[in-house]
Amino acid sequence: MKERQANADRHAQARFLIIRRDNIGDLVCTTPLIRLLRDRFPKAYIAALVNNYNKGVLAGNPHLDAVHHYTKAKHVREHGSVLGVHLDRLKLIWNLRRQRFDFIILGNSNFQAGALRFARFIGARHVIGYVPEDGVARTIDTPIRRNAGEVIHEVIAVNRLLVPLGIDEPSPPVRVFPSQDEAERARKVLNLSADVRVLGIHISARLPQGRWQPEKFIELITRLSRTGETQILLFWSPGDENDSRHPGDDGKAKQILEHCGNLPVRAYPTRELEALIVGLSLCHTVICSDGGAMHIAAGLDRKIVALFGADPARWHPWQARHVLLRAASTQVSDIGVEEVMEAYGKLVPALESIR
């Protein structure tokens, strides 16, 4: 107890920078760390460094003083020239270096060389992060190591980065914060009344093993529509499936919508991450494959039917009510429509009042 209080006093007004520069779901799983850090050091300065792709996860987060972002090389096409992107990155590094952070936290559950390079360029009195399993990253002065063979949730693994700061409390839920103005505007545009249950169905998955067939989505939507009390919002990753950099599901969504034209299903295109967060916030329940949308739904405290291809022990929805489905083949395509219907029924009984 005395050591914990001493840490709290010593770092009460410290300057922290959290670096997490990978996928959307990974950053969602880092939001409990941000909350725990703020709860322990309410007067500290806490900032995050993320990428252009995932920055929407932290929009409106009340536990951060600033969110800095940069463009990855593979996203140059959408954000100007290669030279311009590198110049912007250098300006960002210089700006962060001038802020003289006391701690940089490499917010990943394993060693990330790219994040460490950022930390080295930015500079800080202390760097906390996971080190490689087969060695030591010399510029990480507060190293964290994974236990051999251990399988734990990403949230728990990330939160261990706070132990050197005297923070070892149970983890809070993941959280994202939609714009309430945008949510109300979307609700009016869609004419969603308070007595109608809204179901979100996200049809995209980044990895092939997480993809469900359009025919099954069509059958699922048809069967769910028979209840007469559910408005369905259809979400997907925009773009052409043949785009080598950012394949999308415009064609798949078109096929589903054409077959479900007379059913209570509406397209909800989301070309920006913030729009996806707003759209999912309108839903009471979400059906999706494991991935960014699933973690966002958990961050909104929505009920989730999760179709899993990846490792559920590490990536299941954190502290959200959910039913997890996984085929023995680990291929989402082998999950049946009847299984999804049963899972949905467990979460949303026919006579359950809308909350």
| Residue 128 near residue 142, CB atoms below 8 Å | yes
Structural domain contains residue 10: yes
Element (H, E) at 337: helix 337-347
Structural domain contains residue 173: no
pLDDT of residue 354: 36
Parallel, antiparallel or unpaired: strands 285-289 and 197-202: parallel
Nearest to 33, CA basis, from 55, 17, 11: 17
| Residue 39 near residue 135, CB atoms below 8 Å | no
Amino acid, single-letter form, for residue 229: E
Sheet with 15-19, strands from edge to edge, namely 66-70, 45-51, 15-19, 101-106, 124-130, 142-144
For helices 214-224 and 337-347, angle between their N-to-C axes, nearest 10 degrees = 40
The answer to whether residues 316 and 218 belong to one domain is yes
What tens digit of pLDDT does each residue of 160-182 get?
Answer: 999 999 999 999 999 999 999 99
Query: Is 350 a residue whose pLDDT tops 70?
Result: no
pLDDT of residue 280: 98
The domain of 274 spans 180-347
Structural domain contains residue 331: yes
Q: What are phi and psi of 274, to 5 degrees?
A: -60, -35
Interval 273-289 mean pLDDT: 96
Query: Is 190 a residue whose pLDDT tops 50?
Result: yes
The answer to whether residues 318 and 288 belong to one domain is yes
What tens digit of pLDDT does each residue of 151-164 get?
Answer: 899 999 999 999 99
The answer to whether residues 160 and 190 belong to one domain is no
pLDDT of residue 31: 98
- Name the residue with higher pLDDT: 5 or 47: 47
CB pairs under 8 A, 24+ apart, for 214-217?
214/252, 214/255, 214/256, 216/336, 216/337, 216/340, 217/256
Q: For all residues of the chain together, what is the average pLDDT?
A: 90
Interval 181-201 mean pLDDT: 90
pLDDT of residue 176: 98
Interval 313-332 mean pLDDT: 96
pLDDT of residue 85: 78
CA distance 175 to 19: 18
CA distance 121 to 123: 6
**Lowest-pLDDT range, 96-110, 205-219, 240-254?**
240-254
What is the rounded end-to-end Cα distance, in angstroms, of the chain? 41
pLDDT of residue 256: 97
What's the DSSP call for residue 70? Answer: E
The answer to whether residues 256 and 327 belong to one domain is yes
Determine the 3-state secondary structure of 122 from DSSP. Answer: helix
The answer to whether residues 11 and 122 belong to one domain is yes
Structural domain contains residue 175: no
The answer to whether residues 156 and 189 belong to one domain is no
The answer to whether residues 139 and 256 belong to one domain is no
Pick the last residue of a domain from 122, 141, 165: 165
List residues bridging with 230 in a β-sheet: 197
pLDDT of residue 78: 55
pLDDT of residue 310: 82
Pick the last residue of a domain from 107, 135, 165: 165
Residues whose CB is less than 8 angstroms from the CB of residue 46 and which lie 6 or more positions away in sequence, other chains included: 16, 18, 34, 37, 38, 63, 64, 65
- Name the residue with higher pLDDT: 269 or 27: 27
Report how many domains make up the chain.
2
Interval 246-259 mean pLDDT: 92
| Residue 315 near residue 290, CB atoms below 8 Å | yes
The answer to whether residues 46 and 150 belong to one domain is yes
What tens digit of pLDDT does each residue of 293-304 get?
Answer: 999 999 999 999
Beta-carbon count within 10 A of 254 CB: 13
Interval 5-16 mean pLDDT: 75
Q: To which residue do tokens 């085929």 refer?
A: 327
Alpha helices in 144-272 (DSSP H): 154-159, 180-190, 214-224, 250-259
Structural domain contains residue 155: yes
The answer to whether residues 190 and 147 belong to one domain is no
What tens digit of pLDDT does each residue of 65-105 get?
Answer: 999 999 866 555 555 667 777 788 899 999 999 999 999 99
CA distance 217 to 299: 24
131: left (phi over 0), alpha (psi -120 to 50) or beta: beta
The answer to whether residues 198 and 330 belong to one domain is yes
Residues whose CB is less than 8 angstroms from the CB of residue 65 and which lie 6 or more positions away in sequence, other chains included: 45, 46, 47
The answer to whether residues 53 and 152 belong to one domain is yes
Query: Is 193 a residue whose pLDDT tops 90?
Result: no
Structural domain contains residue 354: no
Structural domain contains residue 171: no
Residues whose CB is less than 8 angstroms from the CB of residue 334 and which lie 6 or more positions away in sequence, other chains included: 327, 328
The answer to whether residues 242 and 331 belong to one domain is yes
Residues whose CB is less than 8 angstroms from the CB of residue 113 and which lie 6 or more positions away in sequence, other chains included: none
Q: With bands split at pLDDT 50, 70 and 90, how would you rate the model's confidence at 353?
A: very low
Nearest to 34, CA basis, from 145, 176, 142, 131: 176
Interval 40-54 mean pLDDT: 95
Interval 323-352 mean pLDDT: 90
pLDDT of residue 6: 58
Domain at 114, CATH number: 3.40.50.2000
Interval 120-140 mean pLDDT: 87
Q: To which residue do tokens 């930015």 refer?
A: 122
